[in-house]
Chain A
Amino acid sequence: AQSVTQLGSHVSVSEGALVLLRCNYSSSVPPYLFWYVQYPNQGLQLLLKYTSAATLVKGINGFEAEFKKSETSFHLTKPSAHMSDAAEYFCAVARPAQKLVFGQGTRLTINP
């Protein structure tokens, strides 16, 4: 069985500050890991994915995440927050055959 835990349902940072959204996973097989972003009244947009290649993964909009097997973590970071980053972020694990298992989500608020 696979599961994802996102630590912190709500994260608030100032514009220009570091963004860190935490995700820990549980998987009995080597996982594929994903971060999706959801803007209000929209579907999910893929930010980045880890599929057993490089452990540091770069995504869109300046986001990146590092796969740490020893810590079973896949935290999402961005060096400098922008107002447009305000959204809901979901970490997900999948393998095999693509059924995505999502975390509960983290709402990111950016303060001016």
Chain B
Amino acid sequence: DAGVTQSPTHLIKTRGQQVTLRCSPKSGHDTVSWYQQALGQGPQFIFQYYEEEERQRGNFPDRFSGHQFPNYSSELNVNALLLGDSALYLCASSYGTGDSAKNIQYFGAGTRLSVL
């Protein structure tokens, strides 16, 4: 049973460029959340997708956008990259959005983005 998979593993971009990161959820999961983890910090919630819609959003600018596909996989897009966007981007999947003790988030290994 494959866990959460993210691609690519590493990415190098320059300021002003756009980037797309991809995530495939764990089998049986239908909800995908994205987090940004800056060096030496804890992960920060970006947004969550369920039923192909953005359900929750953290304190991130509109340059950060996403999409969820019918197969539950997801993309994170970042436009007009800034140096400060350099971070590890983590995808987490879970089942449903209900407030249940069974809804545990499982994380992928992340995509490390470097903006030069």
In the assembled complex, A28 has its CB within 8 A of some CB on chain B: no
In the assembled complex, B80 has its CB within 8 A of some CB on chain A: no
A103 to B45, CA, bound (A): 12
The smallest beta-carbon distance between A7 and chain B, in angstroms, is 14
Contact of B48 among A32, A96, A98, A102 (CB under 8 A): A98
Across the interface, name the chain B residue whose C-beta is closest to A9. Answer: B40
Across the interface, name the chain B residue whose C-beta is closest to A4. Answer: B42
* Residue pair A43, B55 in contact (C-beta under 8 Å): no
User: Chain B contacts of A56 at CB under 8 A?
Assistant: none
* Residue pair B101, A52 in contact (C-beta under 8 Å): yes
Chain B residues 50-80 with CB under 8 Å of chain A are: 55-56, 58
A51 to B94, CA, bound (A): 16
User: Chain B contacts of A103 at CB under 8 A?
Assistant: 42
In the assembled complex, B20 has its CB within 8 A of some CB on chain A: no
User: Chain B contacts of A104 at CB under 8 A?
Assistant: 41-42
* Residue pair B107, A44 in contact (C-beta under 8 Å): yes
A98 to B97, CA, bound (A): 7
* Residue pair A51, B101 in contact (C-beta under 8 Å): yes
A98-B103, A100-B92, A102-B43 given; name 17 further pairs at CB < 8 Å: A36-B107, A44-B92, A46-B104, A51-B101, A53-B101, A97-B48, A98-B33, A98-B105, A99-B33, A99-B56, A100-B33, A100-B35, A100-B43, A101-B45, A102-B44, A104-B42, A105-B41
**Chain B residues proximal to chain A, CB less than 8 Å:** 4, 31, 33, 35, 40-45, 48, 55-56, 58, 90, 92, 94, 97-99, 101, 103-110
Which A-B residue pairs are the 7 nearest by beta carbons? A102-B42, A51-B101, A43-B107, A44-B107, A96-B99, A43-B109, A102-B43
